[in-house]
Amino acid sequence: MEDPRKFAGQARYIGSLPKNDQMCDFYEVEVDGNISYVYVPIGPDQNAK
């Protein structure tokens, strides 16, 4: 298993948005100068696919 990475100060919460009929928290993450956008599923359906 890989070591978990800490992103304190490198992630910015944008808000909660629907994606594929499920609510997700949306973050902007900067790692090594590269900006990426990440959706994190929230709520009771987070493990459903």
Q: What is the pLDDT of residue 43?
A: 76
Residue 23 belongs to some domain of the structure: yes
With respect to residue 34, please indicate whether it lies within any of the assigned structural domains.
yes
Examine residue 33 and state whether it is found in any structural domain, yes or no. Answer: yes
Looking at the 3D structure of the chain, how many domains does it have?
Answer: 1
Please report whether residue 2 resides in a domain: no
pLDDT given for residue 47 in this prediction: 54
pLDDT of amino acid 4:
59
Q: Residue 31: which of 16, 11, 15 has the closest Cα?
A: 11
Domain span at residue 24 reads: 11-41
pTM of the model: 0.62
The CA-atom distances, in angstroms, between 14 and each of 1, 5, 19, 41 are 29, 20, 14, 14
pLDDT digits (tens, 9 = 90+) for 1-49: 455 566 667 788 999 989 888 999 999 988 888 999 999 898 765 554 4
Q: Tell me, yes or no, whether 6 lies in a domain.
A: no
